[in-house]
Amino acid sequence: MPIRFDILTTFPEMFATEPPGALALSIPDRARRAGLVEWHATNIRDFTTDKHQKTDDRPFGGGPGMVMSCQPVWDAVCAVEAMDDRPATRVLLTPQGVPLTQPLVEELATMPRLLLLAGHYEGIDERVIRKLDPMEVSIGDFVLSGGELAAIVLMDAVIRLLPGALGDGESAGQDSFSPIGPGGQRLLDCPHYTRPRVWEGEEVPEILLSGDHGRIAAWRLEQSLQRTRERRPDLLAGPPDQPPPA
Ligand code: 6GU
Protein backbone atom coordinates (compact mmCIF):
# COMPACT_ATOMS: atom_id res chain seq x y z
CA MET A 1 0.00 0.00 0.00
CA PRO A 2 1.31 3.47 -0.80
CA ILE A 3 1.71 5.87 2.12
CA ARG A 4 -1.18 8.32 1.98
CA PHE A 5 -0.89 12.04 2.69
CA ASP A 6 -3.99 14.16 3.18
CA ILE A 7 -3.28 17.88 3.17
CA LEU A 8 -5.88 20.24 4.62
CA THR A 9 -5.32 23.72 3.28
CA THR A 10 -7.01 26.77 1.83
CA PHE A 11 -4.47 26.58 -1.06
CA PRO A 12 -4.86 23.04 -2.48
CA GLU A 13 -3.40 24.19 -5.82
CA MET A 14 0.04 24.12 -4.17
CA PHE A 15 -0.17 20.30 -4.08
CA ALA A 16 -1.43 19.83 -7.65
CA THR A 17 0.06 17.29 -10.00
CA GLU A 18 -1.42 18.96 -13.11
CA PRO A 19 -0.06 21.54 -13.80
CA PRO A 20 2.84 20.29 -11.73
CA GLY A 21 3.38 21.77 -8.28
CA ALA A 22 6.56 21.44 -6.25
CA LEU A 23 6.01 17.73 -5.54
CA ALA A 24 5.11 16.74 -9.11
CA LEU A 25 8.74 16.83 -10.23
CA SER A 26 11.88 14.82 -9.62
CA ILE A 27 11.97 12.16 -6.90
CA PRO A 28 8.50 12.75 -5.37
CA ASP A 29 6.84 12.58 -8.79
CA ARG A 30 8.70 9.40 -9.68
CA ALA A 31 7.69 7.86 -6.33
CA ARG A 32 4.07 8.80 -6.93
CA ARG A 33 4.09 7.33 -10.44
CA ALA A 34 5.66 4.17 -9.04
CA GLY A 35 2.77 3.83 -6.56
CA LEU A 36 4.87 4.40 -3.43
CA VAL A 37 2.91 7.46 -2.30
CA GLU A 38 -0.39 9.17 -2.94
CA TRP A 39 -1.58 12.55 -1.75
CA HIS A 40 -4.91 14.33 -1.67
CA ALA A 41 -5.26 18.03 -0.95
CA THR A 42 -8.60 19.14 0.49
CA ASN A 43 -9.78 22.73 0.61
CA ILE A 44 -10.87 23.62 4.13
CA ARG A 45 -13.09 26.28 2.54
CA ASP A 46 -15.29 23.51 1.10
CA PHE A 47 -16.38 22.68 4.66
CA THR A 48 -17.34 26.11 5.96
CA THR A 49 -20.98 26.58 6.92
CA ASP A 50 -20.50 30.36 6.86
CA LYS A 51 -22.74 32.08 4.31
CA HIS A 52 -19.76 34.00 2.92
CA GLN A 53 -17.53 30.88 2.84
CA LYS A 54 -15.26 32.42 5.47
CA THR A 55 -12.72 30.13 7.14
CA ASP A 56 -11.35 32.74 9.54
CA ASP A 57 -12.37 35.54 11.85
CA ARG A 58 -10.91 38.36 13.96
CA PRO A 59 -9.00 37.40 17.11
CA PHE A 60 -10.70 37.69 20.49
CA GLY A 61 -8.69 40.13 22.56
CA GLY A 62 -7.82 42.18 19.50
CA GLY A 63 -4.60 42.34 17.56
CA PRO A 64 -3.56 41.97 13.95
CA GLY A 65 -4.42 39.22 11.53
CA MET A 66 -7.12 36.60 11.39
CA VAL A 67 -7.62 33.27 13.16
CA MET A 68 -8.79 30.13 11.38
CA SER A 69 -12.16 29.07 12.81
CA CYS A 70 -12.84 25.75 14.57
CA GLN A 71 -15.84 24.60 12.54
CA PRO A 72 -14.40 24.28 9.01
CA VAL A 73 -11.15 22.77 10.32
CA TRP A 74 -12.93 20.17 12.46
CA ASP A 75 -15.44 19.21 9.78
CA ALA A 76 -12.71 18.96 7.12
CA VAL A 77 -10.57 16.69 9.32
CA CYS A 78 -13.54 14.42 10.11
CA ALA A 79 -14.60 14.19 6.45
CA VAL A 80 -11.07 13.55 5.17
CA GLU A 81 -10.30 10.92 7.80
CA ALA A 82 -13.45 9.03 6.76
CA MET A 83 -12.17 8.79 3.15
CA ASP A 84 -9.83 5.90 4.09
CA ASP A 85 -9.93 3.09 6.67
CA ARG A 86 -6.38 3.61 7.82
CA PRO A 87 -5.93 5.79 10.91
CA ALA A 88 -4.15 9.05 10.11
CA THR A 89 -1.31 10.51 12.15
CA ARG A 90 -2.35 14.13 12.51
CA VAL A 91 0.38 16.74 11.97
CA LEU A 92 -0.11 20.50 12.35
CA LEU A 93 2.53 22.61 10.61
CA THR A 94 3.28 25.56 12.86
CA PRO A 95 6.34 27.58 13.92
CA GLN A 96 5.39 26.60 17.51
CA GLY A 97 5.95 22.90 16.76
CA VAL A 98 8.82 20.53 17.50
CA PRO A 99 11.68 20.91 15.01
CA LEU A 100 11.53 18.64 11.96
CA THR A 101 14.71 16.56 12.09
CA GLN A 102 15.87 13.52 10.11
CA PRO A 103 14.98 11.12 13.00
CA LEU A 104 11.43 12.53 13.02
CA VAL A 105 11.26 12.28 9.20
CA GLU A 106 12.36 8.62 9.49
CA GLU A 107 9.61 7.97 12.05
CA LEU A 108 6.96 9.65 9.89
CA ALA A 109 8.07 7.58 6.89
CA THR A 110 6.93 4.42 8.74
CA MET A 111 3.33 5.67 9.11
CA PRO A 112 0.65 4.37 6.71
CA ARG A 113 -1.15 7.69 6.57
CA LEU A 114 -0.34 11.30 7.50
CA LEU A 115 -2.87 14.11 7.74
CA LEU A 116 -1.11 17.45 7.34
CA LEU A 117 -2.94 20.53 8.56
CA ALA A 118 -1.54 23.74 7.09
CA GLY A 119 -2.60 26.80 9.02
CA HIS A 120 -2.61 30.33 7.65
CA TYR A 121 -3.19 33.81 9.00
CA GLU A 122 -2.20 34.30 12.64
CA GLY A 123 -3.00 30.66 13.36
CA ILE A 124 -5.83 28.29 14.15
CA ASP A 125 -8.29 28.59 17.05
CA GLU A 126 -6.58 26.78 19.93
CA ARG A 127 -9.74 24.87 20.87
CA VAL A 128 -9.82 22.85 17.64
CA ILE A 129 -6.08 22.22 17.91
CA ARG A 130 -6.61 20.79 21.43
CA LYS A 131 -9.51 18.65 20.25
CA LEU A 132 -7.54 17.28 17.27
CA ASP A 133 -4.43 16.82 19.46
CA PRO A 134 -2.04 16.70 16.47
CA MET A 135 1.72 16.40 16.52
CA GLU A 136 2.85 20.02 16.02
CA VAL A 137 5.88 20.36 13.73
CA SER A 138 8.02 23.33 12.64
CA ILE A 139 10.60 23.35 9.84
CA GLY A 140 12.83 25.98 11.45
CA ASP A 141 13.09 29.17 13.44
CA PHE A 142 11.64 31.53 10.85
CA VAL A 143 8.10 32.44 9.83
CA LEU A 144 6.38 31.33 6.63
CA SER A 145 3.15 32.84 5.35
CA GLY A 146 1.44 29.50 5.82
CA GLY A 147 2.01 25.86 6.63
CA GLU A 148 1.79 24.72 2.98
CA LEU A 149 5.47 25.15 2.12
CA ALA A 150 6.36 23.42 5.39
CA ALA A 151 4.03 20.55 4.45
CA ILE A 152 5.74 20.27 1.06
CA VAL A 153 9.14 20.17 2.77
CA LEU A 154 7.98 17.45 5.17
CA MET A 155 6.44 15.42 2.33
CA ASP A 156 9.58 15.61 0.19
CA ALA A 157 11.78 14.53 3.10
CA VAL A 158 9.49 11.56 3.89
CA ILE A 159 8.89 10.46 0.29
CA ARG A 160 12.58 10.15 -0.58
CA LEU A 161 13.00 7.68 2.32
CA LEU A 162 10.29 5.30 1.06
CA PRO A 163 11.80 2.01 -0.11
CA GLY A 164 12.30 2.25 -3.88
CA ALA A 165 11.99 6.06 -4.08
CA LEU A 166 15.66 6.62 -4.80
CA GLY A 167 17.11 5.15 -7.98
CA ASP A 168 20.32 3.19 -8.36
CA GLY A 169 23.20 5.42 -7.49
CA GLU A 170 21.04 7.55 -5.19
CA SER A 171 21.23 6.57 -1.56
CA ALA A 172 19.65 8.10 1.51
CA GLY A 173 22.32 6.41 3.62
CA GLN A 174 24.99 8.82 2.35
CA ASP A 175 23.08 12.05 2.90
CA SER A 176 23.76 14.76 5.41
CA PHE A 177 22.24 13.74 8.78
CA SER A 178 22.83 10.04 8.14
CA PRO A 179 24.29 8.45 11.29
CA ILE A 180 27.75 7.75 9.82
CA GLY A 181 29.91 9.22 12.62
CA PRO A 182 32.21 6.91 14.63
CA GLY A 183 29.71 7.16 17.50
CA GLY A 184 26.69 6.97 15.20
CA GLN A 185 26.47 10.78 15.08
CA ARG A 186 24.55 12.39 12.27
CA LEU A 187 27.11 14.28 10.20
CA LEU A 188 27.03 16.76 7.34
CA ASP A 189 27.79 15.35 3.91
CA CYS A 190 31.32 15.41 2.44
CA PRO A 191 32.24 17.55 -0.61
CA HIS A 192 31.66 16.09 -4.08
CA TYR A 193 33.49 16.53 -7.39
CA THR A 194 32.95 15.57 -11.02
CA ARG A 195 34.72 16.16 -14.35
CA PRO A 196 36.74 18.01 -15.46
CA ARG A 197 39.74 17.10 -13.25
CA VAL A 198 40.92 20.71 -13.43
CA TRP A 199 38.48 23.63 -13.58
CA GLU A 200 39.67 27.25 -13.53
CA GLY A 201 43.02 25.94 -12.26
CA GLU A 202 41.34 24.14 -9.33
CA GLU A 203 42.17 20.43 -8.99
CA VAL A 204 39.99 17.63 -7.69
CA PRO A 205 41.48 16.18 -4.46
CA GLU A 206 44.09 13.60 -5.52
CA ILE A 207 42.74 10.84 -3.29
CA LEU A 208 39.47 10.68 -5.23
CA LEU A 209 41.44 9.69 -8.34
CA SER A 210 43.40 6.96 -6.53
CA GLY A 211 40.90 4.13 -6.98
CA ASP A 212 41.58 3.11 -3.35
CA HIS A 213 38.00 2.76 -2.08
CA GLY A 214 39.05 2.20 1.52
CA ARG A 215 41.12 5.38 1.67
CA ILE A 216 38.43 7.32 -0.22
CA ALA A 217 35.80 6.25 2.31
CA ALA A 218 38.11 7.27 5.19
CA TRP A 219 38.79 10.65 3.53
CA ARG A 220 35.08 11.31 3.03
CA LEU A 221 34.33 10.48 6.65
CA GLU A 222 37.11 12.83 7.80
CA GLN A 223 35.74 15.60 5.55
CA SER A 224 32.26 15.03 7.00
CA LEU A 225 33.61 15.23 10.56
CA GLN A 226 35.63 18.37 9.79
CA ARG A 227 32.67 20.16 8.19
CA THR A 228 30.40 19.15 11.01
CA ARG A 229 32.89 20.44 13.63
CA GLU A 230 33.21 23.75 11.75
CA ARG A 231 29.63 24.37 10.71
CA ARG A 232 27.41 22.38 13.08
CA PRO A 233 29.26 21.49 16.30
CA ASP A 234 25.83 21.00 17.91
CA LEU A 235 25.45 17.78 15.89
CA LEU A 236 28.55 16.29 17.58
CA ALA A 237 27.46 17.23 21.09
CA GLY A 238 25.07 14.29 21.22
CA PRO A 239 21.36 14.42 21.87
CA PRO A 240 20.37 16.58 24.87
CA ASP A 241 19.79 14.65 28.13
CA GLN A 242 22.00 11.80 26.93
CA PRO A 243 25.69 11.17 27.51
CA PRO A 244 27.84 12.33 24.59
CA PRO A 245 28.88 9.50 22.25
CA ALA A 246 32.21 7.80 23.07
CL1 6GU B 1 5.50 24.58 10.03
N2 6GU B 1 4.63 27.02 9.49
C3 6GU B 1 4.81 28.33 9.33
N4 6GU B 1 3.75 29.10 9.03
N5 6GU B 1 5.97 28.93 9.45
C6 6GU B 1 7.00 28.15 9.76
C7 6GU B 1 6.90 26.77 9.93
C8 6GU B 1 5.68 26.22 9.80
N9 6GU B 1 8.11 26.27 10.22
C10 6GU B 1 8.92 27.31 10.22
N11 6GU B 1 8.26 28.44 9.94
Instruction: Provide the CATH number for the domain around residue 215.
Output: 1.10.1270.20
Q: Do 12 and 92 have their domain in common?
A: yes
| Mean pLDDT value across residues 17-40 | 94
146 lines ligand 1 (CB under 6 A): yes
Q: What local confidence, expressed as pLDDT, does residue 237 receive?
A: 87
> What residue's CA is closest to ligand 1, atom 8?
94
- Nearest ligand 1 atom to the CA of 120 is 4
> What residue's CA is closest to ligand 1, atom 11?
143
Q: Which of 97, 132, 159 is the last residue of a domain?
A: 159
Residue 239 pLDDT grade (very low, low, confident, very high; cuts 50, 70, 90):
low
Residue 168 pLDDT grade (very low, low, confident, very high; cuts 50, 70, 90):
confident
198 lines ligand 1 (CB under 6 A): no
Q: Do 20 and 109 have their domain in common?
A: yes
Strands ordered across the beta sheet of 123-124? 56-57, 67-68, 123-124
In the reported structure, the alpha carbon of residue 117 is separated from the centroid of ligand 1 by a whole-number distance in angstroms of 12
| Mean pLDDT value across residues 2-31 | 94
82 lines ligand 1 (CB under 6 A): no
Active site residue 58: no
144 lines ligand 1 (CB under 6 A): yes
Residue 166: inside a domain: no
Q: Which of 103, 127, 159 is the last residue of a domain?
A: 159
Mean per-residue pLDDT of the chain: 94
Q: Do 134 and 181 have their domain in common?
A: no
Q: Do 94 and 188 have their domain in common?
A: no
Domain residues for the domain of 199 are: 176-237
Number of domains the chain is built from = 2
Q: Which of 159, 193, 228 is the last residue of a domain?
A: 159
Residue 168: inside a domain: no
Residue 226: inside a domain: yes
Q: Do 192 and 125 have their domain in common?
A: no
Q: What local confidence, expressed as pLDDT, does residue 174 receive?
A: 82
Q: What local confidence, expressed as pLDDT, does residue 241 receive?
A: 58
Is the CB of residue 154 less than 8 Å from the CB of residue 108?
A: yes
Q: Do 77 and 124 have their domain in common?
A: yes
Residue 171 pLDDT grade (very low, low, confident, very high; cuts 50, 70, 90):
confident
- Nearest ligand 1 atom to the CA of 97 is 1
Q: What local confidence, expressed as pLDDT, does residue 242 receive?
A: 57
Active site residue 95: yes
139 lines ligand 1 (CB under 6 A): yes
Locate the DSSP E strands across 100-222.
113-118, 123-124, 135-138, 198-199, 202-203
Give one word for 39, left, alpha or beta, with left for phi > 0 and alpha for psi -120 to 50. Answer: beta
In the reported structure, the alpha carbon of residue 77 is separated from the centroid of ligand 1 by a whole-number distance in angstroms of 20
Residue 126: inside a domain: yes
